[in-house]
């Protein structure tokens, strides 16, 4: 039994329940893998990349969500919280589309989309992990994205593949965070396959 694992006092249990959505990290893994494939296939076949991304999200996320429900149970969130999260997600997506457009068409020396992704990711993790605290990986992935935003500066902006670069790196970050958060959940609540 790890230092973080059960038995848990009621206050700690509430903190885990309130951050349960974030700790279900395997939900991010299919989205991250699909995002990487989209980035790799973008220059070759936008349609194939899009279909793979949608399949990864559409199939992988419900499967991992049901796996968590089966092994760890469900935590209900308020409709107000869910609605606020959906609005924020739409605003973030819209901002990233604008930033990707800037990166693609303006060929700036620094990728605005990756800087935005780094900031949004770090702030999101900071808010979501406010009760249990952030770990090193929660800082390192956004920091790596911020450093990667300097890619055009390092290689020149001429024909820099901004869109594939963005999706491959952010997808990789999602996969890393997904496995890290799942590992933390297992440490907190125990391995569901252990006897």
pLDDT digits (tens, 9 = 90+) for 1-31: 444 444 566 666 666 666 677 778 888 899 9
List CB contacts of 185: < 8 A, sequence separation 6 or more.
Answer: 20, 23, 24, 25, 72
Please indicate, yes or no, if residue 51 is contained in any of the structural domains: yes
For the record, the structure tokens of 184 come out as 């933390």
Please indicate, yes or no, if residue 195 is contained in any of the structural domains: no
CB 162 within 8 A of CB 152: yes
Overall number of domains in the chain: 1
Q: Give the relative orientation of helices 61-72 and 28-41 as an angle to the nearest 10 degrees.
A: 160
Per DSSP, 5 falls in state S
The total number of residues shown for the chain amounts to 195
Please indicate, yes or no, if residue 18 is contained in any of the structural domains: yes
pLDDT-wise least confident of 31-40, 75-84, 115-124: 75-84
C-alpha pair distances (Å), 172 with each of 6, 36, 68: 31, 7, 22
Range(s) of the domain holding residue 98: 10-189
Please indicate, yes or no, if residue 4 is contained in any of the structural domains: no
Q: What share of the chain is helix, strand, coil (3-state, %, to 5)?
A: 75, 0, 25
CB 70 within 8 A of CB 12: no
- Number of alpha carbons in the 13 Å side-chain half-sphere of residue 5: 9
pLDDT digits (tens, 9 = 90+) for 47-94: 998 999 999 999 998 898 888 888 877 777 778 877 877 788 888 888
* Residue 132 to residue 128: CA distance in whole angstroms: 9
Please indicate, yes or no, if residue 167 is contained in any of the structural domains: yes
CB 148 within 8 A of CB 169: yes
Please indicate, yes or no, if residue 1 is contained in any of the structural domains: no
pLDDT-wise least confident of 53-57, 156-160, 167-171: 156-160
What is the pLDDT of the chain when averaged over all its residues? 83
* The pLDDT value given to residue 1: 43
* The pLDDT value given to residue 11: 64
Please indicate, yes or no, if residue 86 is contained in any of the structural domains: yes
- Average pLDDT estimate for 173-179: 94
- Average pLDDT estimate for 171-191: 88
pTM: 0.83
More confident residue, 56 or 106: 56
């Amino acid at each position: 039994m790890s230092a973080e694992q059960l038995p848990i006092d009621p206050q700690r249990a509430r903190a885990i329940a309130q951050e349960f959505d974030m700790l279900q990290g395997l939900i991010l893994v299919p989205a991250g893998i699909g995002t990487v494939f989209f980035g790799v296939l973008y220059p070759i076949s936008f349609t194939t990349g899009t279909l793979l991304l949608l399949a990864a999200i559409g199939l992988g996320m419900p499967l991992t969500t049901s796996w968590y429900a089966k092994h760890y149970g469900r935590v209900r969130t308020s409709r107000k919280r869910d609605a606020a999260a959906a609005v924020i997600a739409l605003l973030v997506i819209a901002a990233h589309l604008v930033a990707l457009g800037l990166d693609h068409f303006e060929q700036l020396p620094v990728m605005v989309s990756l800087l935005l992704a780094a900031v949004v990711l770090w702030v999101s993790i900071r808010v979501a992990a406010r009760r249990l605290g952030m770990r090193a990986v929660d800082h390192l992935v956004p920091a790596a994205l911020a450093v990667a935003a300097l890619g055009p500066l390092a290689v020149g902006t001429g024909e820099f593949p901004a869109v594939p670069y963005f999706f491959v790196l952010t997808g990789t970050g999602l996969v890393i965070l997904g496995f890290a958060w799942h590992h933390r959940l297992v440490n907190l609540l125990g391995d569901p396959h252990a006897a």
